[in-house]
Structure 1
């Protein structure tokens, strides 16, 4: 089991406290802030070793934080909207034009957090499910179940499925 250092504990407590404040947003009073701080420190004491793997103050970099927020609000929402429209067209079409299959796509990412975020982003967009992440000969690959396999070429399929998601996630985590 990984030992928790002090900076990881502080970073996790600050993150938990920010989440606490977002949950109790209209009710900012002294009691809420004190209870939130206490709960945040307690949660951080038990979870910091699982939450922070490498750089404890990573998201306190304004550029990384801005890129994460921009990815979450603009990039992912745009890709989610496009995928929803595509799946809705297929579902409402009388002929139901689907060609389901599993494709293997390459992933150019170093961070475990980035790999997880990309896999979850792909899975959350309708029409695709990330089934597995494998490493073969030093390269990372996702196995994706795709509702309409347009190509079996792994690079082309990767571009169609990942779109701009991977580029923006690398800006945040790599």
Structure 2
């Protein structure tokens, strides 16, 4: 059994069904237990004892910065849609990350994808392959600075 999968599955069950009846909690417990046993070999992400502290840091530090970056990117993409004369230079770029843990890389890839104008296509070890609506940088360092650096610094402090 993967305890992390069990906790996440059970927490999700409780949030979706509510906790009005003890029978719902017991069924959720059993379903979560079965899922965590069946899918044990597919999950490599594990939560340690500092999981709650990491979630609080994520919510208080990372989320506001991510939301601000998402708002800026939304305005940028909206401006490009409303004014076709604005230049676009779409392309695929490769960005190396210094993040070591799978959880950190997962959050980084999802954050990039959720930010309009960028889409993470693949993650291989320490490299992310991203489609960027307006490639502004030629060098790898510049691409990293534009796309992922602000997210990486915080994710490193939260999850690593």
> Do the structures match in fold with TM over 0.5?
yes
Matching residue within 135, 139, 143 for 2:129: 143
| Cα distance in 2, alignment partners of residues 129 and 44 from structure 1 | 30
| Cα distance in 2, alignment partners of residues 59 and 65 from structure 1 | 12
Retained in 1: the 8 A contact 2:108–2:155? yes
Q: Please tell me whether residue 32 in structure 1 is matched to residue 24 in structure 2.
A: yes
RMSD (Å), alpha carbons: 2.3
| Cα distance in 1, alignment partners of residues 61 and 12 from structure 2 | 18
| Cα distance in 1, alignment partners of residues 59 and 141 from structure 2 | 28
Matching residue within 147, 152, 162 for 2:138: 152
| Cα distance in 2, alignment partners of residues 66 and 92 from structure 1 | 38
Matching residue within 105, 110, 116 for 2:106: 116
The offset of 1:106, in angstroms, is 2.3
**Equivalent position SS for 1:109:** coil
**Equivalent position SS for 1:103:** strand
Retained in 2: the 8 A contact 1:132–1:143? yes
Cα deviations by residue, 1:97-121 (Å, 9 ceiling, x for unpaired):
2111222322111112222221222
| Alignment CA distance shift 1:134-1:15 (3 Å) | closer
| Alignment CA distance shift 1:63-1:106 (3 Å) | same
| Cα distance in 2, alignment partners of residues 59 and 23 from structure 1 | 25
Cα deviations by residue, 1:9-64 (Å, 9 ceiling, x for unpaired):
x3322221111111123x5221221111111111111123322x36x442653321
TM-score w.r.t. the length of structure 2 is 0.84
Retained in 2: the 8 A contact 1:13–1:44? yes
Q: Please tell me whether residue 164 in structure 1 is matched to residue 145 in structure 2.
A: no
Structure 2 gap segments, 5+ residues each: none
The offset of 1:72, in angstroms, is 6.5
Matching residue within 8, 12, 19 for 1:15: 8
| Cα distance in 2, alignment partners of residues 33 and 19 from structure 1 | 11
TM-score w.r.t. the length of structure 1 is 0.78
Q: Give the equivalent residue in structure 2 for 1:50.
A: 42
The offset of 1:148, in angstroms, is 0.9
